[in-house]
Amino acid sequence: MNKITFIQLNEHWEAAPNAPSVDVKFSGSTAELWFLLNPGRQKSSSREAATIRFVNCSRWNWDATNDHAWFSGEGRYAKQAPKWGEFYEIVGEEKLGGCVDWEVMNVDPEGARHFLFYFRDETLEFIATDWSIEREVVSPA
């Protein structure tokens, strides 16, 4: 059995802890995950949102595992992930993404990676080759 490693990808930003208003859209094989950022972590007087783009996305999953379930030990990675509410890349899985009810869009491309984001009321996972983030001002704070 392989040792799973969680690499935290969100540095200097995090999702709004109570109401991130999560939305997912697709354009071809690119998945776009939009959410509000935590105003307490921003160095701006404006309210900000972020869009994470997952390139060559082949599968994704939107799960109802929330913070209460995670802290109770429920969910696939509840006893393994270092911290709730963060954005991770999971490395070292025996089967990329494990066995869940994935929404399959394409065959996994060469170099596919597993990304996991814990929000307050849901968990999202994406199998894709890469990701990028873009921030935007949505309103004054």
Rounded Cα–Cα distance for residues 25 and 10 (Å): 20
| Local confidence band at 43 (pLDDT 50, 70, 90 cut-offs) | low
Instruction: Give Cβ neighbours of residue 127 (< 8 Å, ≥ 6 apart).
Output: 57, 58, 59, 60, 96, 97, 102, 108, 112, 113, 114, 115
pLDDT at site 9: 96
| Local confidence band at 107 (pLDDT 50, 70, 90 cut-offs) | very high
Percent of the chain with pLDDT over 70: 94
Instruction: Give Cβ neighbours of residue 53 (< 8 Å, ≥ 6 apart).
Output: 30, 31, 32, 33, 131, 132, 133, 134
| Local confidence band at 23 (pLDDT 50, 70, 90 cut-offs) | very high
| Local confidence band at 44 (pLDDT 50, 70, 90 cut-offs) | low
Mean pLDDT score, 48-60: 96
**Looking at per-residue confidence, does 56 or 101 come out higher?**
56
**Looking at per-residue confidence, does 32 or 83 come out higher?**
32
Mean per-residue pLDDT over the chain, rounded: 89
Please state the domain extents for the chain: 5-140
Mean pLDDT score, 53-66: 94
Residue-wise pLDDT for 120-141, tens only, equals 899 999 999 999 999 999 876 5
Q: Pick the closest to residue 7 from 83, 74, 78, 76 (CA basis).
A: 83
pLDDT at site 2: 67
